[in-house]
A and B are shown apart, each in its own frame.
Chain A
Amino acid sequence: DTGVSQDPRHKITKRGQNVTFRCDPISEHNRLYWYRQTLGQGPEFLTYFQNEAQLEKSRLLSDRFSAERPKGSFSTLEIQRTEQGDSAMYLCASSLGPGVEETQYFGPGTRLLVL
């Protein structure tokens, strides 16, 4: 079991550029989550997938954000026309779910800095 992996670990971009992050969940985990964590705060939910279906999106996920999980395996999170306020740590988690005792396992995160 290799754990949840995320790529890249760090990304610096200029305002207005597009960025894409990738998350590889633990194999056989059906559920995949994206969270955003800003400095000094706890993670905030963005969206989650059950296999390839995106089941819920937070109001934090503006039209500039899009997430996909083709074939129910890895997921990508794209931010278009980045703004300085998008600077944050983007965390991915996966779980075996559905189940009442599912545990979400987190990846190391992608730290985004928008200049």
Chain B
Amino acid sequence: AQTVTQSQPEMSVQEAETVTLSCTYDTSESDYYLFWYKQPPSRQMILVIRQEAYKQQNATENRFSVNFQKAAKSFSLKISDSQLGDAAMYFCAYRSAYGNEKLTFGTGTRLTIIP
């Protein structure tokens, strides 16, 4: 079974600075998808960024980018120019490419933005 580990329960960053959230995963599969989801307080979960394992190029979405290291099974999220609206729980998630559609989530990292 696949597992996802987020070793940083809480992180904080000054507004306008850059922060990196860590995620590692364990799988024996060669093809899969990785996601970062954001869950603001009392609000619904939204997708931040997605990475396909077969792509070597790291995904980017505006101020959000990932560092995908397949051999190391590492998938970190970098947030540049942090904004107050970035404050949320961030979850790393794994999905197999082999028909099992469920998402397997990590335990999350609570990100605080310091004004």
A44 nearest CB neighbor, chain B only: B105
Q: Is B56 an interface residue (CB 8 A)?
A: no
Given contacts A42-B108, A109-B44, contact A104 B100 (CB under 8 A): no
Q: Is A18 an interface residue (CB 8 A)?
A: no
B6 nearest CB neighbor, chain A only: A42
Counting chain A residues whose Cβ lies within 8 A of the other chain, the interface size class is 20 to 34
The contact string, 1 if C-beta is below 8 Å from chain B, for chain A 26-57, is 00000101010000111111001000000110
Q: Is B16 an interface residue (CB 8 A)?
A: no
Q: Total contacts A to B, CB within 8 angstroms?
A: 55
* Interface residues in B85-115 (C-beta closer than 8 Å to A): 91, 93, 97, 100-108
Q: Is A101 an interface residue (CB 8 A)?
A: yes
Q: Which of A43, A45, A95, A97 contacts B91 (CB 8 A)?
A: A43
Given contacts A91-B45, A106-B44, A108-B44, contact A42 B102 (CB under 8 A): no
In the complex, how many angstroms separate the beta carbon of B110 from the nearest chain A beta carbon?
Answer: 10
Q: Determine whether the beta carbon of A106 is less than 8 Å from that of B45.
A: yes
Q: Determine whether the beta carbon of B106 is less than 8 Å from that of A45.
A: no
Q: Is A103 an interface residue (CB 8 A)?
A: yes
Interface of B with A (CB < 8 Å)?
Answer: 4, 33, 37, 43-47, 50, 52, 91, 93, 97, 100-108
Interface of A with B (CB < 8 Å)?
Answer: 4, 31, 33, 35, 40-45, 48, 55-56, 58, 91, 95, 97, 100-109
Could you list 13 further interchain pairs (A-B, Cβ under 8 angstroms) beyond the known A42-B105, A42-B107?
A33-B102, A40-B108, A42-B4, A42-B106, A42-B108, A43-B105, A44-B105, A48-B102, A95-B101, A97-B101, A100-B33, A104-B103, A107-B44
